[in-house]
């Protein structure tokens, strides 16, 4: 297969960027999207050019590092899929692909397709945990958790912190990310005690980082590679009162 790639190139956060166009051929359907970019980078090295920078690590859809907007969709059009799990068999031969970084004020572009998501870490630091000291935990089966509740908590805990929800949101809100963590912990008896303070602190931090607020566009749920549900936002809103 052969593809025309329009890729966002930007030297640093301070300077503007623009699209550069590359043609790549000899791609087979079992090649992943990122492997295609690897091959393009090999060509760039060959031509003495600086490689295209993009984030990745696990390439299994679990670390949350990869983060490309492809033809306008964060993580591409395929639902419930991270960028690293896209295979070129999803695309028709000779398609043109527009590849951009996440775009949000709170996620500065560091270079090319890589953005700064440290705001997410700071939101977690503001309260996204249970305050338990190593060594003070009780015997694990002392506190029982109903299976359905545990499953629900798990579904919220699956968030990989990729930031696609922010990238797609017209308000660049991080509500889905924040709500997922608040829900995960408040559903469990271990985390319930701190629910109120946690929710307020995390919400405050989200605002301080410059993320917008939720006005129910609901795009986030659609692009989230882990299927984090909007129910979590409802749950969060209930606790924030």
Partner 1 sequence: MSILNAKEPIGPLEMRWKKHLFDLALVAPQNRNKHKIIVIGTGLAGASLCATLGEAGYRVSSFCFQDSPRRAHSIAAQGGINATKNYQNDGDSVWRLFYDTIKGGDFRARESNVYRLAELSANIIDQAVAQGVPFAREYSGYLANRSFGGTQVSRTFYARSQTGQQLLLGAYGAMSRQVESGQVTHHSRTEMLEIITIDGKARGVVVRDLISGELSTHLADCVVLCTGGYSNAYYLSTNAKGCNTSATWRAFKQGAYFANPGFTQIHPTCIPPTGENQSKLTLMSESLRNDGRIWAPKNKADCKKNPKDIKEEDRDYFLERLYPAFANLVPRDVASRAVKHICDEGYGVGVKIHNQRLGVYLDFSNVIEKIGLEAVEEKYGNLFEMYERITDENPCETPMKIYPAPHYSMGGLWVDYNLMTTLDGLFAAGEANFSDHGANRLGASALMQGLADGYFILPQTIANYLARNTFDDIDENHDQVQVALSSVKNRIDQLMQAPDAQHSPEYFHQKLGKILWESCGMSRERGKLEQAIVELNDLKCEFWQKIKVTGIDKDLNQTLERAGRMADFIELGELMCKDALKREESCGAHAREEYLSSGGEAKRDDENFSFVSAWEYHKEGAKLHEEHLHFEFIKPTVRNYK
Residue 166 burial (CB count, 10 A): 29
> Rounded distance, CA 154 to CA 142, Å?
19
Shortest distance (Å) from residue 215 CB to partner 1? 27
> Rounded distance, CA 159 to CA 189, Å?
20
Q: Which residues 6+ apart lie within 8 Å of 231 measured at CB? A: 183
Among residues 174, 158, 169, the alpha carbon closest in space to that of 61 is found at 158
Q: Which of 34, 160, 187, 203 contacts ligand SF4 by CB under 6 A? A: 160
Tell whether residue 140 is a contact of partner 1 (CB under 8 A): yes
Shortest distance (Å) from residue 89 CB to ligand FES? 18
Tell whether residue 28 is a contact of ligand FES (CB under 6 A): no
Binding segment for ligand SF4 (CB under 6 A), chosen from 95-103, 158-166, 205-213, 233-241, is 158-166
Shortest distance (Å) from residue 191 CB to ligand FES? 25
SS3 content of the chain, % helix, strand, coil (to 5): 40, 15, 45
- Which of 107/126 has CB closer to ligand FES? 107
- Which of 8/217 has CB closer to partner 1? 8
Tell whether residue 34 is a contact of ligand SF4 (CB under 6 A): no
Alpha helices in 104-230 (DSSP H): 118-125, 147-157, 164-168, 175-187, 189-192, 195-208, 219-223
Torsion angle (degrees, nearest 10) of CA 126, 128, 131, 135: -120
Binding segment for partner 1 (CB under 8 A), chosen from 17-25, 56-64, 94-102, 215-223, is 56-64
Give a three-class secondary structure readout of 184-220.
HHHHCHHHHCCHHHHHHHHHHHHHHCCCECCCCCCHH
Q: Which of 5, 119, 224, 236 contacts ligand SF4 by CB under 6 A? A: 224
| Pair of tokens at residue 177 | 């990310």
Q: Which of 52, 65, 97, 99 contacts ligand FES by CB under 6 A? A: 65
Q: Under rule CB under 8 A, which residues in 142-201 are in contact with partner 1? A: 143-147, 150-151, 153-154, 157-158, 160-161, 184-185, 188, 190-191
> Rounded distance, CA 40 to CA 98, Å?
15
Tell whether residue 30 is a contact of partner 1 (CB under 8 A): yes
228 binds, among ligand SF4, partner 1, ligand FES, none (CB under 5 to 8 A by kind): ligand SF4
15 binds, among partner 1, ligand FES, ligand SF4, none (CB under 5 to 8 A by kind): none
Give the interface with ligand SF4 as residue ranges (CB under 6 A): 159-165, 176-177, 180, 224-226, 228
Give the interface with ligand FES as residue ranges (CB under 6 A): 56-59, 61-66, 82-84
């Amino acid at each position: 297969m052969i593809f025309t790639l329009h890729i966002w190139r930007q030297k640093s956060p301070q300077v503007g960027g623009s699209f550069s166009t590359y043609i790549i051929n000899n791609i087979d359907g079992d090649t992943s999207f990122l492997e295609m970019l690897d091959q393009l980078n090999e060509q760039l090295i060959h031509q003495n050019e600086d490689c295209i920078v993009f984030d990745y690590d696990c390439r299994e859809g679990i670390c949350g590092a990869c983060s490309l907007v492809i033809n306008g969709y964060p993580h591409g059009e395929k639902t419930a899929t991270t960028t690293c799990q896209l295979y070129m068999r999803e695309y028709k031969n000779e398609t043109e692909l527009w590849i951009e970084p996440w775009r949000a004020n709170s996620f500065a572009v560091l270079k090319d397709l890589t953005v700064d998501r440290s705001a997410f870490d700071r939101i977690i630091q503001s309260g996204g945990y249970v305050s338990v000291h190593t060594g003070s935990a009780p015997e694990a089966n002392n506190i029982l958790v109903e299976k359905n509740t545990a499953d629900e908590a798990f579904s919220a805990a699956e968030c990989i912190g990729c930031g696609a929800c922010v990238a797609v949101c017209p308000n660049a809100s991080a509500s889905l990310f924040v709500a997922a963590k608040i829900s995960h912990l408040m559903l469990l008896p271990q985390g319930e005690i701190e629910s109120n303070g946690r929710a307020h602190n995390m919400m405050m931090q989200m605002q301080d980082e410059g993320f917008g607020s939720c006005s129910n566009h609901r795009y986030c749920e659609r692009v989230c590679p882990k299927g984090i549900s909007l129910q979590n936002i409802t749950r969060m809103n209930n606790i924030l009162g």
